[in-house]
Amino acid sequence: MYIRLLLLLTILCVLTCPVQTHAEEQLSEEQIHTKRMELFQKSEALTHIPWYYLAAVDQYERSLRFARKDREKPSSLISIYIDAEKWSGPLNPHLQDENPKTISLFNGFGRDGDYDGKASIKSDEDIMAAFTDYVLQYGTDRDNFKLALWDYYKRDKTVSIIMGKAKIYKHFGTIHLNDKAFPLPLRFNYSYRNTWGDARGWGGRRIHEGTDLFADYGVPVRATSYGIIEMKGWNRYGGWRIGIRDINNTYHYFAHLSGFSDNLKVGQVVEPGMVIGGVGSSGYGPPGTSGKFPPHLHYGMYKDNGLTEWSFDPYPHLRQWERKDRIKSRKS
């Protein structure tokens, strides 16, 4: 009888265990952010590397995993990518090596951060330990961290994107920054349709990379995401235009503005809904040219994957943000 009961309990446990892991995958986005933040803060306590530096690298790498086919989609809390050769050590004959001693013998990145005796490339804490140990060879201040990033990625744009994210995280004190806003306040008159890829006349053979939102002169133009101002100024096609990089490596481009909000600077942190300028018709000539076409906001989106950047259709996103803003305004 006892044996039967024991057997039954064993079977029950085996049956419920996968259910538990399944439940773990069902964590809300906010709960995942909380767990991730705990890991960053734990690493900061151990290494004195500011949590927002670690969060910025991790978020950069997470975005890459969604944007690139040669990377696996994120399956754990931490997304920092260290390839097997780097992990085990360049001359290590055992590419899947998890032995901290032999890994260190071959100068590999792998570390045992969770003290289970193995340096596992699949363990969040082991990856954090490996990456922070790498950074500590340089130092924990801003300049040394940037140097560590440069040696790791060998790409200026990647370093500046990661430093931008660090500034955003530090500013808001959280990594829970996924909210978005429609670029125009819904109470104004405006219209837009999907013009992705349409041919355009001026400036040679170019296709239309973005969505045109038609509205009156001076209608407020708002940041659509949490981000950092990467570019601001005149361009003969775009007129007065501004570019904002969000935390997913996406670059949001606002063109033909009538002007900018006061005190807006490159390197400034913005949040969704913050007014950055007004609708205008600037562009298609030397600085100050305006009125060559009806006033509208040209809105473009570009994705960086760590190697290159390309434009994609903002229209479905605009529709989604507009819908969400409408729901929000009904609630308030």
Contact positions vs Zn ion (CB under 5 A) = 210, 212, 298
For Zn ion, give the closer residue by CB, 113 or 210: 210
To Zn ion, the closest distance from the beta carbon of 285 in angstroms equals 16
Answer whether 301's CB lies under 8 Å from 251's CB.
yes
For Zn ion, give the closer residue by CB, 293 or 310: 293
Answer whether 81's CB lies under 8 Å from 64's CB.
yes
Q: Helix 29-47 crosses helix 124-136 at what angle (to 10 degrees)?
A: 40
To Zn ion, the closest distance from the beta carbon of 200 in angstroms equals 8
Q: What's the angle, vertex CA 273, arms to CA 271 and CA 277, rounded to 5?
A: 100
For Zn ion, give the closer residue by CB, 47 or 289: 289
For Zn ion, give the closer residue by CB, 30 or 198: 198
For Zn ion, give the closer residue by CB, 133 or 313: 313
For Zn ion, give the closer residue by CB, 180 or 298: 298
Q: Give rounded-to-5 percent helix, strand, coil for the chain.
A: 40, 20, 40
Answer whether 166's CB lies under 8 Å from 53's CB.
yes
CB atoms within 10 A of CB 140: 16
To Zn ion, the closest distance from the beta carbon of 320 in angstroms equals 19
Write b or e for each residue in 189-217: b if 16 or more Cβ atoms lie within 10 A of its Cβ, otherwise e.
ebebeeebeeeeeeeeeeeebbbbbebee
Residues 6 or more apart whose Cβ sits within 8 Å of residue 310: 302, 303
To Zn ion, the closest distance from the beta carbon of 317 in angstroms equals 15
To Zn ion, the closest distance from the beta carbon of 299 in angstroms equals 8
Our measurement of the distance from residue 122's CA atom to the centroid of its chain's CA atoms, rounded to an integer in Å, reads 22
